[in-house]
Structure 1
Amino acid sequence: MGCYTVRPSMSVNVSISTSTVSQSFSALFSSSCSLITLHHSQSKPIVSPFYNLLPPTQNPNNIVNLISSILKHKSSHLSLLHHDIKAILPHLGPHQISRVLLRCQSDHSSALTFFNWVKNDLHITPTVHNYCLILHILAWSSAFSQVMKLLSELIHLFEIECICVSPNEDIFENLIGCTEDCNWNPVIFDMLIKAYVKAGMVEKGLATFRRNIKACFIPDVIACNCLLSGLSRFHYISQCWEVYEEMGRLGIHRNAYTFNIMTHVLCKDGDTDKVNGFLEKMEEEGFEPDLVTYTTLVNSYCKKRRLEDALYLYKIMYVRGMMPNLITHTALMNGLCEEGKVKEAHQLFHQMVHRGIEPDIVSYNTLVTGYCREGKMQMCKSLLHEMIGNGISPDSVTCWLIVEGYARGGKLLSVLNTIVELKRFRIKIPEDVYDYLIVLLCNEGRPFAARSFLLRISQDGYIPKMNTYSKLLESLCEFNNVEGALILKSEMVNKNMKLNLAAYRAVISCLCRVNRTPEAEGLFEEMVASGILPDVEISRALVNGYCEENKVDKAVSLLKFFAKEFQVYDTESYNAVVKVFCEVGNVAELMELQDKLHKVGYVPNRLTCKYVIHGLQKAAELDDEILGHNMLKV
């Protein structure tokens, strides 16, 4: 097989409309497709002599001729035969599909119409061989956009989804094999490289590049550049140099785009010291470094904290009559800000504007980032106003920078005022910013301000996340604002939000603290009914609540309930009940209670013993008082 290094110039000329043929197929088969069982497996040619005794439209051997005739005449009158043809459609397998495609080599639009009809109407997945035939037919006719579309589809089906694991389904080998049967254009092998890179399969693209060279299909510079760009993007640095060197060996003329990619590779590899030598080699081959080259180097030097080198290149650009663009200036501004030279970055910004380069949101955000790091929020706000005045709408990055800058300085009021101001300018505030501010206010112990802020922004349709609602709920409960917490809980229920354990715990504990333990118990029952199991803190809150309200029987009942139903044993709650009995000196009932609780798993500790001793002393004192009182009567 000979090497292909020169290609004829081909223009894309798809002048034949496929709509007529599509209508013919639709009319011919639409009423019968749902009744046919189609097979996706490989189909062999039908050779049975008995089929020849059937009428032509019922003879499976005639299916290729019938379909080819329809495609050739582009006529719909043959649709009258659809009732007869439907009987032999199950015999349309991969072999027959290939035969029809080969007969359509001279009319790529008919071939494509047939191929799409097989896929979309008959729901047959063509084989790799079928795909390769249509690809060759389209490439020969210079229908390159359709070629790239079908190549991407083929790669997705057989390489990504892996619908077939047969070793015979190798795309490259099938493309080679099909060249024996149909007209073909070697550009298809370049397009296969680009299709793999487009699909993110750069390793496959590199393997195809190597196979092309082995088969003497020399890729063009565009395919090579595409492969280099993909390899660079996925950090295949050594492979980039392999392809670059191979291009020189094969005599593929590298262009400015090639050198810019490799400059980027050098910078990404961290070997910026080799850049000067590479630039000299670039100039030896007749290519002057352009704006992209210099901007790539400036950006790389800034990222590596080599600011002096970056500034030197920036000056060299002017010496060589090359005007730095917005990207160059923004990269240099970012480098200055990273070094803490925000004032110099701002001066560069003004120089850029003075030279007629319009700033964008990225350049403004670069300055805002620098001033936020230094805590100069007034300058940030001035830049914010300047942006809006110049018709540049702050984006989510700007909002986050401003909010976090004020928050680091503890200026929450300034944050809220800035948000209100931005809303007045119809600037869209990211909902994540709202969530962050509500949680921040709660963490600062200002739940009422957070609640007020929520009510204001909810008017614009904002709905907090579940975690944000829960945090506000917990914060309100910490301040015993039980009414506010219950209202917030109702809002969450109305928005179909399911409370989590932390939220239930907060509200139940708050209700118990304000002597509304029966309501807390009702909420506990609601929690259990929703499938959330209680923890020790909820048990403790309810038991202690009833003890504080002198409903010791209810407290005892809950102790048993938590132990039996949920295996929750809280010694602190147990001691709270013991303490109540001891304080009134009711030792008899206390001993009886201890026996009952011991049976369900409660074990006394040192504090329990201390309470019992105190209870015995209390009982003895009461007995002495009663005895003394009786003796006085006598």
Structure 2
Amino acid sequence: MRRALARAAALYARHSSSSSSAAGAAPAAEWVEAFMDLSDVAGGPRQPSPWVGRVVALLRDSADPDSDLDAFCRRFLVRLSPSLVAEALRSPDLRDRPAAALRLFDWAARQPRFPRHRLAAYVSLLDLLAAAALPPAERDAAARALVRGLGPLAVPPPACGALMRSLGAMGLVEELLFVWRRMKASGGLPSVETFNCLLTALVNASFPAAARRVFDLMRRDGPAPDAVTYNVVIKAHCSAGETAAAAALLAEMGGAADKISYATVIQARYADGDHGGCAALYQEMEERGVEAPPHVCTLVVAGLCREGRPFEAATVVRRMAARGVRRNAAVYTALLDGFSKAGDAARAMEMLERMREEGLEPDQVTHGAVVGCLCRAGRPAEAAEWARRWGGNAVAYAAAIDGLGKAGRADEAVALLEEMAAARGGARPDAACFNAAMAALCRAGRAAEAAALRGRMAGEGCEADARTYAILVEGMFKGRRAEEGMRVWGEMVAAGVAPTAAAAAAMARGLCAAGKVERACRAVDEMAARGAVAEGAYEEMMGALCAAGRLAQACRLADGMVERGREVPARVRTLFLNALRKAGRADLAMKLLHSRIGIGYRRLGSVKRRVKFQTLLQPSSTT
């Protein structure tokens, strides 16, 4: 009996000790998911778990997310699952807290036995970084670290599209190609959307050549391109200046072309100056029933007006009104300017009245076009009065000053500039106003006053531009002030302003007229050494020499151009023929035409030499 009681006491002690040890150990933490129901039985939208809201609220109000997350999980004996982390990162409350979202992402990966982040978490975090107001370098560094942290995670094609779309929005081309290679390594076939994401990212990152290669690969081995694909590649061609290739792709699309396709090619053609091509594409849009965006209609109207076809532009505007498309101020301004340049001032002013009837307020460009219209109609006084009426418009003042100068009323042009500078409030004179006044003075042969006016530009806060120097150089050389013209030329070069073709031609013409041919050639060569090629400078020099009767110097200039390889001999002959014809030396022009000068050779024993242009002035020479 005693032995049985001892055995029972030992068993009770063992049971009580095991019970006390079990009571002292903490239970295991539970993984909490993002949704309440994880089964596929329940239909309808899944209800998010309340743990998602608690975690987001904690991150929103926490100054130390890592410590607060640790305390939160210890208190409730939970661990955050990959699905819950991904759902929390999608919360709108974290959109303006990218640092807290990154801390949650890093902290979750450090949990014991945490499986791996889901791909949705990477996508959500990349979207959050793209929308965050972070410095670009910091944002890109965080995104690159995320992408490189994908590790051995498989990237299936459906999820690859979302990931590539996020990377493309941030312009991270290298990371985007990394994900593309990972998807290919996973054995997935890229979809049309995936190709479109890659193409869009390459085009937005200014890699049009790479985008075209991907497009060729897609047409050869991938799925059939859709309208979005074609639009992206058309944009790539247009950004690279290959408008013809973009138009060929547009024609290849056929009936699948939409308004974005047409708009992209029309914008490229307008930038290239092909206004007729813009009108042809617009007509094709109308024939196919494709709705033209308002800005496309504006480009077509402006292009037709620039080509001197304002009546066709007015027809386009009437068709816009018939379709219910609202016209803007730019459309009527283009029509006004087009009719003005066509010499129909009455119809141009009618466009202004129609513009006001439709409730559109004229802007600065419109007022400038009205002033230009009045000046072309021979009404510079009315143009000046219009500019005064709209005193806050420097464009209108510049047009009025230019109109007065072209009408030979230089004093009134300068007075209008002085009135503008003296007025308190309103527009201040800009470089265009000063340039117009200086051009008026130079036309009147008052280049010295124009140079003095340039000295006042700095006081008004204006910097002399290439147009300013071109006006002064041309005015000085026309006034036979070669030395002052060269001084202005030197100031232009010292200021780092690239000379225009008009300034170079005026300089070359003026120096040659003064007999300083070598100096003119040296100035042209110095321009070429700086990368500024003076187009037409030698032609102007030859014309000036022939017009001044300096035929010997003209012949030496032609020989020098051939010997130094400035122009091909046949081109030099053509320039010389035109210069002689314009100078009234038809006899020498005919002699040059029927000779071998410049293009033929003469043998002196075993030596073959080109027939020089200087032989043109030798009456007894055999040419």
Q: TM-score, normalised by structure 1?
A: 0.46
Specify which structure has the bigger relative contact order, considering alpha-carbon pairs within 8 angstroms and separated by 6 or more residues: 1
Q: TM-score, normalised by structure 2?
A: 0.46
